[in-house]
Amino acid sequence: MDAERFQNLRAPFEEMEAAVVRLALARPGELHPSRVDALRYVLSFAKLQIVQNVDGTDVEVGDALASHAWQVREALAPWLLNEGSLARASQHLPPLLDSTRDRRRRLLEHFPLAPESLEAEVCERQLIVTCGGGGGAGYGYAGAWQSLHRAGLQPALISGTSMGALIALFRARRKVFDPAPMYHAAQRLTWPGVFRILQMESRYGVPATLRLYLRSAIGSLFHTPDGRPLTFRDLELPLLIVATGLGVDALKHDLAFYEHFLDDAVGHDFTLRPSRAAQIGQVVNILRELLATPDALREVVFGGDPTTLDADILDAAGFSSSIPGLIHYDVVRDDKRMKALLDDLYARYGITRLVEGGIVNNVPVKPAYDAVVAGRIKRRNGWYLALDCFKPSIRSAVFFPVQQLVRPNVQRNIAYANLYFALDRTLNPLNLVPSYDAVLRAQEWTTKELEPHMATIAESCRTIATI
């Protein structure tokens, strides 16, 4: 089943369950917690489409439950969505509970399903987190990870683009949240340590003024115990990173044009000159040219298939962060394995270069949704939190045009999110290597902004009682 159909079938019940959570939090005591869970169980059961059994096989149950799902929707939608009344909705529970128990019994009798698999699919929700791109504005995501950890919430899968992917690397390393490596990196990062202005071979990326050296900057934090660079397969939490693949017709200039596009905007210390902000903003012209031929652009999802599971995570994040004309990332080291993987990837996608993922998908919720529907994390009852540090803001004349350019792909993706959270207060997107104190400030801003939503996130992801 494709993700779009899966979402369409489940959407009415997702909306009603969200209403139950919202009303229960807003009016504690209106309905006993056991009745709240009963409502949620009925709704969660009605939206079932695919259940993975204990032996790993997928069992499609949606058609068998179609008439029951219609019955549940007709009974509860008027009270939950129109009237906003838990008490009135609860009055319809007795017959719905009987019907749900009967359908559950029949499913277990007629389908090769273990009861524990069915109950896990209905009662448990998996937190899926997406971190969008946005340069230095993305450092605030550290505050979101801190807030989720304090609430006892562990993501089942993470997706990211550009800076969102880089921050996500630190969370995906271990199931147990450990912010120390991220703080360690923030304390030691310098512009010359991350970016250089050197002649570099361009084999897989698009040349630009700044060359991104991720391995020298943070490579020591992303190795296996035996010293091998981490791949997606090595991560304890599943991670997807989006990059943009360029077909043969995508680039409108020769490579030298991109290599020297912003030479005048970079100082001798490799930092971006604030006085040249308008010039840096001209990157929007390159992005417009690329988006003018959408058929020449490919969404490449690292970590989303067996081949890219073996890709080095730093290489994927590097390509996802390489803004044409501004930042160049490439694989120039002697690494036959990774180069063979990229050569195969380029042939399969029909691409010649990899660049910034935000061009095709700046808040990649849909790839995460696709992965969950395909069975990547076994369960399909995901709850999707989309974090965006690059929402359009007229306060910034430099970045607003770029934000507007990527907004259509953001809107297509956040349609799959249960909660879209746009960071309001952020660091400047051009502040790619901020001070340690600035990182802490950005983290604190996001923590405070996300706080009003934490009860909803925690309650939505709570395991509910069976009936």
pLDDT in tens, 134-155: 999 999 999 999 999 999 999 9
Instruction: Retrieve residue 343's tokens.
Output: 């050569």
Distant-in-sequence, close-in-space partners of 135: CB < 8 Å, separation ≥ 6 = 162, 163, 390, 428, 429, 430, 431, 432
- The Cα 430–Cα 318 span in angstroms is 16
Please report the sign of the dihedral spanned by the C-alpha atoms of residue 358, residue 364, residue 370, residue 375.
Answer: positive
- Look at residue 426 in the predicted model and tell me its pLDDT: 97
What length does the chain have?
Answer: 467
Contacts of residue 455, defined as CB under 8 A and 6 or more positions apart, other chains included, come to: 25
- Reported as a single tens digit per residue, the pLDDT across 278-319 is 666 678 899 999 999 999 999 999 999 999 999 999 999 999
pLDDT for res 267: 58
Which residue, among 464, 465, 459, 463, has the nearest Cα to 18 in the 3D structure? Answer: 459
pTM across the whole model: 0.95
Kindly tell me the sign of the dihedral angle through the C-alpha atoms of 298, 300, 304, 309. Answer: positive
Q: What percent of the chain has pLDDT over 70?
A: 96
For Cα atoms 271, 273, 274, give the angle at the middle one, nearest 5 degrees. Answer: 125
Q: Which residues, listed in sequence order, are joined to residue 388 by a DSSP beta bridge? A: 422
Contact 373, 4 (CB under 8 A): no
Burial class (CB in 10 A: 0-12, 13-18, 19+), 451: exposed
Sign (positive or negative) of CA dihedral 341, 347, 349, 354: positive
Q: How confident is the model at residue 12 (pLDDT cuts 50, 70, 90)?
A: very high
Query: What is the Cα–Cα distance from 107 to 406, expressed in whole angstroms?
Result: 44
Beta strands at 239-246 and 297-302: parallel, antiparallel or unpaired: antiparallel
Q: pLDDT tens, 388-408?
A: 999 998 877 778 999 999 999
Nearest to 240 by CA among 326, 366, 341: 366
pLDDT at 230 over 80: yes
Burial of 53 (0-12, 13-18, 19+ CB in 10 A): middle
First to last CA, the chain: 28
pLDDT-based confidence at residue 268 (cuts at 50, 70, 90): low
- Tally Cβ neighbours within 10 Å of residue 52: 18
* Residue 163 three-state SS: helix
- pLDDT at residue 233 tops 90: yes
Contact 218, 185 (CB under 8 A): yes
Residue 168 tokens read as: 């996500």
Give the pLDDT confidence of 366-387 residue by residue, as tens digits: 999 999 999 999 999 999 999 9
% residues pLDDT > 90 (the chain): 86
Q: Which strands form 325-328's sheet, in the order they lie side by side?
A: 195-196, 208-212, 325-328
Q: What is the mean pLDDT of residues 349-369?
A: 98
